[in-house]
Amino acid sequence: MYVVRNKKTKALIHMVNSAPGIDLKPEDVFREFDPKTMEFGRYTEQYLPDEFTIEDGVVKESGKSAKKPKSAKAPSAEQELKELKARKLQEASRLSFVERGRILPEHELLNAALGIYDEKRTKQIQATVRAFRDGYHRYEAALEKAKTAKAVEALKLELPKKLQS
């Protein structure tokens, strides 16, 4: 999980679940990241402890939460698969928005919505957004059908690489 919080007040600004093996930069997680006023960290779990510090980009438990014993009951295989699918779907959503932003910045979406562009340009933007949505929904449907963690891990999110026509 990635966390962005205010350095001074320690208030959470943004957090997003992450997938193992994918390292993101602060700007990929929170576009408005400001290193002067915000701190960025990654935690190994998909939840945040009640009390924590961020040291060298790593979230570390502190206070009472660091002393909590871990649950002895391991999650079932079915529960683990369900959690894996949820993490993968959330990661696909985040990645879809990041990749779409590289091809099609937010201001262009707003300009199209406001009717600033001509009809051809507006249709190109609409087709691109639709292609990203379709890619995400295909991935979501494939995730629902997957029966094993190996099958889930093998799935690839197919997204457009350029503006659609």
How many domains does the chain divide into?
2
Model confidence over 49-85: pLDDT tens digits? 888 888 888 888 887 655 655 555 677 888 899 999 9
Rounded to the nearest integer, the mean pLDDT of the chain is: 88
Q: What is the pLDDT of residue 64?
A: 64
Of 67, 89, 116, the residue that ends a domain is 67
- 86 and 63 part of one domain: no
Of 67, 94, 122, the residue that ends a domain is 67
Flag whether 36 is in a domain.
yes
Domain assignment of residue 50, given as a range: 2-67
Residue 76 CA to residue 91 CA, distance in Å, equals: 22
- 37 and 89 part of one domain: no
- 60 and 109 part of one domain: no
Flag whether 164 is in a domain.
no
Entry pTM: 0.57
pLDDT of 25 above 80 = yes
Instruction: Tell me the backbone φ, ψ of residue 63, rounded to 5 degrees.
Output: 65, -150
